[in-house]
């Protein structure tokens, strides 16, 4: 799908549907038109997309969405984001689909239902397809004032943060120095021996992923190689580098601390590498053994566990779900699925441009009539 506005053309490079990463191609006829990209994208290092060297990889935020932007030519860029439909449609709406609802891709709720990961998320999608979502949008189309119309659309968008996780697991990365108890912790959470446990540094050399369902939501727990400053093993070195990379893609990072050792310089290094917006907590492992060393920073939540005795594991999983999902929708909650999020953003944008309430309500009804659900 390609969308266009006078200054910039946006084309989707990856196929619609579930995936780890999605990519959008942006191009413009003149470099000064790229200021629209600069307004949407904020790089961590402060570099603008329009001034980045060709082939330079720049990590940052696209209006709150973590993305990687690569300038591929003088007036061309690629934006790589999370593979869920919400992230892609939000970026596409910035350039072209923001002027027409016809550019919003149709997304079948039945197809989404087949992609859901848990019974809870399937029930939420079924509620939308049974008429809840359509009726909510019709109510918005009958709003008597702009303020009520805006509020109804914003109520839908208030749940936008969660909809990608109907088909994508929350990513929880367990990180720490060697022999802190990371693998034992993962095994205790999973309820079986998923990771090899051995008291020799470097036992875990690659990321070990485990898919679990907690409180009706899908989680992917990742046990990483022990992070330390030096290693003579080239395979372990690669594992440590991979572990550090995983910190940047996690939804939540668990920093494992050995109760018999305490907080170390390696922990400071891990903490410094976690992006500011990423949730994090400290898991004090081996609580059944005598405590030694320094305690973690007071500003970071600390959960005490013993994988050997099964102590603190339930409290830990409860804390994880409460951090990532502080509020849950119910089957009576209308959710912006099936392209509705992109639709709401476009309608609000057009209102901001001075379009009338009546015209936007008509646009909403026409778009709604075109949807299979």
Q: How confident is the model at residue 16 (pLDDT cuts 50, 70, 90)?
A: low
Q: How confident is the model at residue 252 (pLDDT cuts 50, 70, 90)?
A: very high
| Residues 318 and 200 placed together within one structural domain of the fold | yes
DSSP-derived secondary structure for 251-312 = SEEEEEEETTT---HHHHHHHHHS-TTSEEEEEEE-TTS---SPPPPTTS-EEE-BTTTTBS
Q: Of the residues 78, 97, 116, which one is the last residue of a structural domain?
A: 97
Q: Outline where the chain has alpha helix (H).
A: 35-40, 85-92, 109-115, 119-127, 133-141, 146-157, 160-163, 182-190, 234-246, 265-273, 313-324, 340-352, 357-369
| Residues 176 and 46 placed together within one structural domain of the fold | no
342 has pLDDT over 70: yes
Q: Of the residues 73, 97, 121, which one is the last residue of a structural domain?
A: 97
5 has pLDDT over 50: no
> pLDDT per residue over 221-247, tens digit each?
998 876 545 555 555 556 556 667 788
| Residues 92 and 237 placed together within one structural domain of the fold | no
290 against 151, higher pLDDT = 151
Q: Does the pTM exceed 0.85? A: no
Specify the pLDDT at position 85: 67
The answer to whether position 134 is within a domain reads no
Specify the pLDDT at position 100: 54
Q: Residue 185, Cα to own-chain centre: how many angstroms? A: 24
Q: What is the mean pLDDT of the chain?
A: 83
Q: Percent of the chain beyond pLDDT 90? A: 43
> pLDDT per residue over 164-222, tens digit each?
899 899 999 999 988 888 888 999 998 865 544 445 444 444 567 889 999 999 999 99
| Residues 176 and 319 placed together within one structural domain of the fold | yes
| Residues 178 and 80 placed together within one structural domain of the fold | no
| Residues 65 and 207 placed together within one structural domain of the fold | no
Q: Which domain holds residue 11?
A: 1-97
Sheet containing 65-73: order of strands: 2-4, 8-12, 21-28, 76-82, 65-73, 57-62, 41-43
| Residues 300 and 180 placed together within one structural domain of the fold | yes
The answer to whether position 181 is within a domain reads yes
As a whole number, mean pLDDT of residues 15-41 equals 80
As a whole number, mean pLDDT of residues 292-317 equals 86
Q: How confident is the model at residue 98 (pLDDT cuts 50, 70, 90)?
A: very low
| Residues 175 and 79 placed together within one structural domain of the fold | no
Which tokens hold the place of 265?
């310089």
Q: How confident is the model at residue 40 (pLDDT cuts 50, 70, 90)?
A: confident
């Amino acid at each position: 799908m390609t969308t266009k506005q006078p200054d910039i053309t946006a084309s989707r490079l990856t196929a619609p549907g579930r995936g780890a990463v999605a990519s959008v191609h942006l191009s413009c006829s003149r470099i000064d038109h790229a200021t629209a990209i600069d307004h949407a994208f904020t790089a961590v290092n402060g570099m603008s997309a329009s001034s980045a060297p060709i082939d330079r990889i720049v990590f940052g935020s696209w209006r709150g969405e973590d993305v990687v932007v690569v300038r591929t030519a003088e007036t061309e860029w690629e934006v790589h984001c999370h593979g869920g439909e919400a992230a892609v449609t939000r970026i596409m709406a910035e350039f072209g689909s923001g002027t027409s609802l016809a550019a919003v891709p149709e997304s079948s709720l039945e197809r989404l239902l087949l992609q859901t990961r848990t019974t809870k998320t399937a029930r939420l999608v079924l509620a939308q397809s049974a008429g809840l979502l359509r009726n909510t949008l019709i109510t918005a189309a009958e709003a008597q004032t702009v303020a009520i119309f805006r509020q109804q659309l914003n109520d839908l968008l208030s749940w936008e943060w969660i909809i990608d996780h109907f088909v994508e697991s929350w990513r929880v990365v367990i990180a720490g120095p060697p022999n802190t108890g990371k693998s034992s912790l993962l095994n205790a959470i999973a309820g079986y021996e998923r990771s090899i446990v051995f008291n020799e540094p470097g036992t875990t050399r690659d990321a070990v992923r485990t898919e679990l369902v907690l409180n009706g939501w899908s989680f992917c727990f990742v046990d990483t190689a022990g992070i330390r400053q030096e290693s003579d093993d080239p395979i372990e070195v690669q594992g440590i580098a991979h572990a550090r990379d995983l910190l940047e893609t996690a939804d939540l990072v668990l920093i494992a601390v050995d109760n018999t050792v305490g907080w170390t310089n390696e922990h400071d290094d891990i903490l410094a590498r976690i992006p500011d917006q990423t949730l994090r907590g400290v898991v004090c492992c081996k609580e059944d053994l005598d405590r030694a060393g320094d305690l973690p920073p007071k500003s970071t939540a600390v959960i005490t566990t013993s994988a050997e005795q099964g102590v603190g594991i339930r409290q830990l999983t409860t804390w994880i779900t409460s951090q990532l999902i502080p509020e849950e929708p119910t089957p009576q909650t209308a959710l912006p699925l099936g392209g509705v999020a992109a639709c709401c953003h476009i309608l609000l944008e057009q209102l901001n441009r001075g379009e009338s309430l009546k015209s936007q309500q008509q646009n909403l009804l026409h778009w709604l009539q075109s949807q299979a659900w």
